[in-house]
Amino acid sequence: RESELLNMNMLAAETKDGKLINLQANIEIPEEVDSVLVHGADGIGLYRSEFLFMQPGRVPSEEQQYEAYKTVLEAMEGKPVTIRTLDVGGDKFIPKVNNLAENNPLLGWRAIRFCIEHKEFFKQQLRALLRASVFGNLKIMFPMISGVEELEKALAILEETKDDLRKEKINFIERIPVGIMIEVPSAAMTSDILARKVDFFSIGTNDLIQYTIAVDRGNEKIATLYEPFHPGVLRLIRMVIENAHEQGLSVSMCGEMAGDLYSSVILLGLGLDVYSMSAISIPEIKRIIRSVSMSEAEELVGTIMAMKSFGDIDKYVRNWMEEKF
């Protein structure tokens, strides 16, 4: 097993006809970096910073955040590390930070919506990120962006924080790539506009599917309605990738779908550039990518995009994958 893993790490995630795919890992705490490296990730595509805030008894100070970000950046030795700013609220209840009782928390005061209004709190995280940027290859990502005004507000706060640091003569990397999660349908629908304002997109399918089909991702009663291959979801993903590529942006996916065996060839055919998943899934997804060609993947996508229902698509894809692998 271990030697198999090492052998896989030596190989690139390259399709049979030579397209190179970037496979990255999702992490929640800095301690996971060892596993990320062992499984041969090309970088960290999603560091869920809210887990720093979920530890009992404390809200991390700027200094504590800085240390955590620096640890991850240093350990990754120049490989990209995408740190997502605080995604609080919704199903992520952090008592010391956000204790508002809402009727519809998933449609509520979540993530960037919360941070924009708690500007000083948000700036503390941005300061920690900017200060840590000199230790590696940092990318900053905003969660739950729903439209251009929200994005502009977040970008303005980032600029203001940079100005503060300049005044204090504190070093940071000036041109840190800034990206957004595409996980709200309105963001996907306006991705042509948003693409002009950022350096990259990362599709968060966990939320994008939930909001597109209006099905709570944590509610078991309606779990069968949670359909990654719903034509509505696939069309949105295709639209996001096309709009991003038109502006020369790279598109990542960091929702569960990116690490799903049955989705992997479809995502390839849709043109996804970066897959970010739990580190242990990387070797298996790499094996699949290495055994198909782009033309096969594009043909599969052409066929399923003409189908009418999740059921038809799901059955077709499962047969296709089982025949091939």
Which of residues 272 and 321 has its CB atom nearest to Mg ion in the complex? Answer: 272
**How far is Cα 325 from Cα 297, in angstroms, rounded to an integer?**
14
Tokens representing residue 325 in the block = 């692998």
Long-range contacts of 154-161 (CB under 8 A, 24+ apart): 154/112, 154/115, 154/116, 155/197, 157/115, 157/116, 157/119, 157/122, 157/123, 157/126, 158/126, 160/123, 161/123, 161/126, 161/127, 161/130
Tokens representing residue 233 in the block = 């979801």
Binding-site partner at residue 255 among ligand PEP, Mg ion, none, CB < 5 to 8 Å by type = ligand PEP
The single residue among 50, 207, 227, 273 that binds Mg ion, judged by CB under 5 A, is 207
**Binding map of ligand PEP across residues 250-279, x = CB under 6 A, - = no contact:** ----xx------------------------
Binding-site partner at residue 205 among ligand PEP, Mg ion, none, CB < 5 to 8 Å by type = ligand PEP
139 binds ligand PEP (CB under 6 A): no
Provide the pairing of β-strand 274-277 with 22-27.
parallel
**Which residue, 242, 267, 162, 247, is CA-closest to 198?**
247
| Marked catalytic residue, from 254, 267, 279, 301 | 254
- Start-to-end CA distance of the chain, whole Å, equals 19
The single residue among 207, 227, 273, 296 that binds ligand PEP, judged by CB under 6 A, is 207
256 binds Mg ion (CB under 5 A): no
296 binds Mg ion (CB under 5 A): no
204 binds ligand PEP (CB under 6 A): yes
CA atoms within 13 A on the CB side of 151: 24
Q: Name which of residues 279 to 308 contact ligand PEP (CB under 6 A).
A: none
Least gap, CB of 136 to ligand PEP (angstroms): 21
What type of residue sits at position 224? Answer: T
89 binds ligand PEP (CB under 6 A): no
Q: Is 254 among the catalytic positions? A: yes
Is residue 238 classed exposed, middle or buried when 0-12, 13-18 and 19+ CB atoms within 10 A define those classes?
middle
List residues binding Mg ion (CB under 5 A). Answer: 183, 204, 207
List residues binding ligand PEP (CB under 6 A). Answer: 46, 48, 87, 183, 204-207, 254-255
Which active-site residues does the annotation give?
Answer: 254
